[in-house]
Amino acid sequence: MAMQSNSGTFNQVSDVPQNSNYGFALTSLTSLFFMWGFITCLNDILIPHLKGVFDLSYSQAMLVQFCFFGAYFIVSLPAGTIVKKLGYQKGIVLGLVVAAIGCLGFYPAASMHSYAVFLLALFILASGITLLQVSANPYVSMLGDAKTASSRLTMTQAFNSLGTTVAPFFGALLILNQAAESISAQASAEAVQMPYVFLAAMLLALAAIFAWLKLPNLSVADEGSQNNLNKDSGSAWQYSHLVLGAIGIFVYVGAEVSIGSFLVSFFADPSIAGLEESEAAKYIAYYWGGAMVGRFIGAAVMQKVAAGKVLFFNSVIAVLLILIATLSSGNIAMVAILLVGLCNSIMFPTIFSLAINRLGKHTSQGSGILCLAIVGGAIIPLIQGGIADSIGIQPSFFLPILCYLFIAYYGLWGSKVKAIAK
C-alpha cells in the first residue's frame, strides 16, 4: 500500500496503471457494502427483540441505535487518521476484524443477560463498520471519472441495500422466531448468539480475502490530483457544500434509521395492521428492498439527470408519503411508509458524492466529517423514541419529515460548490 510522508500526504508505490483493475476493485468492494448493510439492518430486528427481553421503553430500546451510530461520531475522525497511515485496503481489513470482534461480543452479552454488554458489543461492531465506511466510500468515488462518482457510489450502495433486504428474513427466522419459542427471558436473549457468531466468521473470511487481493493503490496523492477549488493550505470545513452535506447526512441517516427502527412496532399497532413481531419484521425487507431497487434505477438516471435534482425530487416524495402514513391507517399507512424506502435509495451516496465534490486534497478529511455526521442515526431515533413514548408511534413520524425537507434544500441549493476566497 501507499506510504505516508512527514507532510501527511501519500506517495504511490504501486505499479498499477491509473485505470487498470477498477472493474475488479469495484466488484470486490460490493461485498463490503452488502455486509455492512446486512449488519446495520439487523438492528431493526434487535430493537423489538431486546425491548421484549429486557422490558424496555421505546427510548431505552433506541439506545441500540444510539450506541451503534454513536460509534460513527466517536470513531470517524480517528478512523480517517488510521486510513491515512495504513491506506484504504489495510483500513478495510482492520475494519472487518474489529467488526468481527463486536459480533463475537454478543455471545457473552446473551450469556450474562446484560443489556449494557449488548450495547458495548454493538459499539465495537459499529466501530469496525465506521472504519469500513471511511475507507470504502472515498475509494469507490475515486475509482473512475469524478463526474460519475454519484452514479458509481449509488451502484455499490445498491448492494448495501441488498444486504438490508435479506437481513430481515434472516433476523425474523433465526432471532425472533426462536425467541418466540423460548420459555425464559434468558433463552430468548441467547437467540442472538449463533447468528452473530456466524457473522463474525463471515467478516473474518472477508478480512483474509481483502488482505490477499491486489487492488489499485489510490491514496491522498490521487485525491489531490482531482480538480479542487483551493490548492493551498486550509481544510474541508471551508467548503459550504461539505458542511451542509454533513448536515444532510446527519438528518438523512437519522430519518432512514428512525423509520426502519419503528417499522415493526408501527405494523404491530392495532390501528395499522396488528401484526405479530416475527411477521411484521418481514415487511422491513420491502422498505430496504425499495432502496435497493431505487439505487439501481438511480445509478442509471443520474448518468443523464443532475444528482442534486434527483435528490430534491426524492426528498419531496418522501415527505408526501410520510404525511400519508401519519394521517391514515391500515394498508394505506403501511404501503406509504414502506415506499419511503424507494425514495431513500439514492440519498446517502448522492449527498456523500456531492459533498466531497472538488475537495481535492481535503477529500479524506471530508469523508471523515461525513462519516462523523452518521451520528444522526444515534440522535434522531432516540428523539423519535421520546416522542413516541409521549404521544404515540404514528405522530412521531413527523420528525423524519423535517429531515427530508432539509435534504430537498440541499439537493437544489445547498450542494452548489462555491469558490474559497484566498
Tell me, what's the pLDDT at 11? 32
User: Across-strand partners of 178?
Assistant: none
User: Across-strand partners of 10?
Assistant: 4
Q: How many CA atoms lie within 13 A of 7 on its CB side?
A: 7
Is 4 within the bounds of a domain? no
Is 422 within the bounds of a domain? no
User: Across-strand partners of 377?
Assistant: none
Cα(351)–Cα(354) distance, integer angstroms: 5
For the purposes of burial, counting CB atoms within 10 Å of the CB of 185, is it exposed (0-12), middle (13-18) or buried (19 or more)? middle
Is 306 within the bounds of a domain? yes
Neighbours of 24 (CB within 10 A): 13
Is 36 within the bounds of a domain? yes
The mean pLDDT value for 128-135 works out to 86
* pLDDT single digits (tens) 187-225: 666 778 888 898 999 999 988 988 887 766 655 444 444
Tell me, what's the pLDDT at 224? 46
Q: Which of 379, 146, 160 is nearest to 249 (CA)?
A: 379
* pLDDT single digits (tens) 140-186: 766 766 666 666 776 777 777 788 788 888 877 777 666 555 556 66
Tell me, what's the pLDDT at 226? 45
Provide the 3-class DSSP secondary structure of residue 134: helix
Is 421 within the bounds of a domain? no
Which cell is 151 given? 452514479
Cα(48)–Cα(51) distance, integer angstroms: 5
* pLDDT single digits (tens) 227-279: 444 444 577 888 899 999 999 999 999 999 999 999 988 998 888 888 887 78
Contact 242, 236 (CB under 8 A): yes
Is 217 within the bounds of a domain? yes
Is 6 within the bounds of a domain? no
Q: Does 360 have pLDDT greater than 80?
A: no
State how many domains the chain has: 1
Span of 52-56, 199-203, 220-224, 381-385 with lowest mean pLDDT: 220-224
> By residue range, what is the domain housing residue 364?
19-414
Contact 285, 168 (CB under 8 A): yes
Cα(317)–Cα(334) distance, integer angstroms: 16
Q: Which of 125, 100, 159, 101 is nearest to 46 (CA)?
A: 125
CATH of the domain at 103: 1.20.1250.20
Written as one letter, the residue type at 140 is V
Cα(422)–Cα(416) distance, integer angstroms: 19
Which cell is 252 given? 438523512
Q: Which of 399, 284, 417, 293 is nearest to 346 (CA)?
A: 293
Cα(323)–Cα(35) distance, integer angstroms: 32
Cβ neighbors of 370 (< 8 A, separation 6 or more) are 137, 242, 245, 246, 249, 351, 352, 355, 356
The mean pLDDT value for 291-320 works out to 88
Cα(112)–Cα(51) distance, integer angstroms: 17
For the purposes of burial, counting CB atoms within 10 Å of the CB of 202, is it exposed (0-12), middle (13-18) or buried (19 or more)? middle
Torsion of CA 314, 241, 90, 225, to 10 degrees: 120
Q: How many CA atoms lie within 13 A of 102 on its CB side?
A: 25
Q: What is the pTM (predicted TM-score) of this model?
A: 0.75
Is 48 within the bounds of a domain? yes
Helix, strand, coil percentages (3-state) for the chain, rounded to 5, are 80, 0, 20
